[in-house]
Amino acid sequence: MNAPLIIPELVSLDADLGSTKAEVITSVAGIIARAGRADADGLTRDALDRESKSPTGMPGGFAIPHCRSAAVSQPSLGFARLSPAVDFNGPDGPADLVFMIAASENGGADHMKLLTKLARALVKPEFVEQLRQAPDAQTVVDLIGGVVGPEEGAPVPAPATAAATDETAPEQTPTTHVVAITACPTGIAHTYMAADYLTAAGKKMGVDVKVEPQGSTATEPLDASEIEAADAVIFATDVGVKGRERFAGKPVIESGVKRAVNEPEKMVAEALAAAKDPHAHRVPAGHGEHQEPEQAGSQIGWGKRIQQALMTGVSYMIPFVAAGGLLIALGFLFGGYEIAKDGMDIALHNTFNNLPAPTAHALGGSATMTYIGAVLFAVGQAAFGFLLPALAGYIGFGLADRPGIAPGFVAGAVAGVTGAGFIGAIVGGLLGGLVAYWFTRLNPPRWLRGLMPVVIIPLVGSLIAGGLMYVVLGRPLAALTNALNNWLGGMSGASAVILGIILGLMMCSDLGGPINKAAYLFATTNLAVTNVGSLKVMAAVMAAGMVPPLAMALSTTLRPNLYQPAERENGTAAWLLGASFISEGAIPFAAADPLRVIPSMMAGGAVTGALSMALGAASKAPHGGIFVFFAIDRVWAFILAIVVGTIVAALLVTIFKASAKRKAEATA
């Protein structure tokens, strides 16, 4: 049988354990250590580190400091009734009751379960008063054991009067139901982190929160019955919500995805308030398949709405960039870089029975490799051909849902034909989306409604957006794009280094957010084999984007005692994420400690971007990290820039965290 969580030796009654919360935590950790269940120094350090992230003082005059720690040999609950009370930053003054949950390093689920059980019991004034009046340690053990671990055989207390009824009522009466959608531009990290945070917040608050993360992997949609039972909806997204029409009529709270990571409990609380407010904003029923975005959460202004549309376009464009760019890079590997000149012609006119003459740098000097390289190059070019239409089309989708897709795609295609490039695609996508959105605001006769989304809006929207691109906007935007490409091609010396610094800072500032995506979009949409400057920009962007996860992995390896167990596990995974150019691998660290992590990562990214540009590294592949080394010119410079930037970022974040730890220990 497992040892009980709390025993009389872990209880201290009416004791003066210090005048600050750090002193109290240190004293209770010592009590647990003297019972042979933990190392005092390690438990104190981890508990204070957890306390520094957010205070554990609760309404009602009690505090629940807690942590998971490798210093804990036996999961335990220490209890102290303080005299005098000590300030734990609770909302209603000092705490006279302190519960220290000391969970073992691999006891995450038990830790959360224990915290939830204890918090639910402590909201009952009768139970708290019984603890304040308990005459001895064994009575405290019996009372607490009854609510956090009845399975261990501890007797369940029988609170006076109506308390017994209150004890069981919450279990029998359904709580408020909230459903949520989370989504970020890449659908890799923020999407799933936000979903986890909202779910955990709901459990802590006693709210049934069901989340549908609309990420890059297969998503199990919310069941229709769960949506029907929901009292309110949370949309925490940086891109458009798929299937918004399912939530028609529900009170809605909307924000960017990061808010759900940073303030999950506040968002759940706002959803609860909206559920009770008859005037709350609601997801509209709309007409047909389209849902009018203006009314679906007017907490978001047009600036945020346009930003979400741009991120939606980038999100849907990235698969075309990755597939097309990597296929082109493989074409170069097999057929040599000369394949860029004749690859399309070879793919169209040659076969395995009619092989072309081998190119000078084909793999093994083989005609077969030349033909395979040409086919890979041609397929990659075809995929790349969708880059501008996809960007513009899904910007239109982000603004006007499905009616915006056709006008956006047409405007993006025209941007490609006229040479307006990615700037033209952005402008065209916004035009197409706004025109389509305006049409969805109309209230046509019933007999015309069926034609609106499938005929009238695509026809008129495509005509207006595409026509304006041809007649008015195409040539000036093409001139701007050509000037930009000429500038990239002519970069050298100090100007190249400065651009590398700027791109490095952008790539590491928000780790997959809008600023990061803006730098990546700048690099990928200007990528051209014939423009050496664009290849250097692509290398600098990819190298800088690899730095944050690699730096955090290195820091957790060098100084593991500065990080929580879960962070050390994330650090192990971050090696591969960083090597693969997935900047989001550093997000868990940035979310936990943004003021120390993000500036350190930006410094490392700036160093990497500057070195990559100065040393002339150039990448013909838009993604893949070290796994596309064959498509990188001066690969030694590329790797050197990454190594130096990673070391700089890792040293800075380690120094900052070590300094914070020393201050916390000095306070203790």
Residue 448 has pLDDT above 80, yes or no: no
pLDDT in tens, 56-71: 776 667 787 877 778 8
pLDDT in tens, 351-400: 888 888 888 778 778 889 999 989 988 898 888 788 889 888 988 888 88
**Lowest-confidence range among 23-37, 227-241, 249-263?**
249-263
Q: Between helices 635-667 and 532-558, what is the axis angle to 10°? A: 40
Residue 664 has pLDDT above 80, yes or no: no
Which token pair is 174? 């359904």
Q: Can you name the residues that pair with 633 across neighbouring β-strands?
A: 618
- Give the Å distances, CA to CA, from 59 to 62, 95, 122: 7, 9, 9
pLDDT at 309: 80
Residue 132 has pLDDT above 60, yes or no: yes
pLDDT at 424: 84
Residue 509: which pLDDT band, with cuts at 50, 70 and 90? confident
Residue 668: which pLDDT band, with cuts at 50, 70 and 90? low
Could you give the CA distance from residue 668 to residue 663 in angstroms, rounded to a whole number? 9
Residue 75 has pLDDT above 90, yes or no: no
Residue 159 has pLDDT above 60, yes or no: no
The answer to whether domain 8-108 has CATH 3.40.930.10 is yes
Which single residue is written with the structure tokens 């346009």? 306
Residue 171 has pLDDT above 60, yes or no: no
Task: Compare 546 and 570 and report the one with higher pLDDT.
Answer: 546
Which token pair is 517? 């995506």
Helix (H) or strand (E) run with residue 212 in it: strand 208-213
CB 385 within 8 A of CB 413: no
DSSP code of residue 472: I
* Average pLDDT for the chain: 79
Name which of 458, 393, 459 is nearest 426 in CA terms. 393
Mean pLDDT of 98-102: 85
Indicate which residues carry an active-site annotation: 66, 184
Most confident option among 113-127, 468-482, 506-520 = 468-482
Residue 170 has pLDDT above 80, yes or no: no
Percent of residues, the chain, with pLDDT higher than 70:
81
pLDDT at 643: 95
**Lowest-confidence range among 270-274, 275-279, 595-599?**
275-279
Q: What is the residue extent of each domain of the chain?
A: 8-108, 177-283, 303-484, 491-667
> Domain 177-283 belongs to what architecture?
3-Layer(aba) Sandwich (3.40)
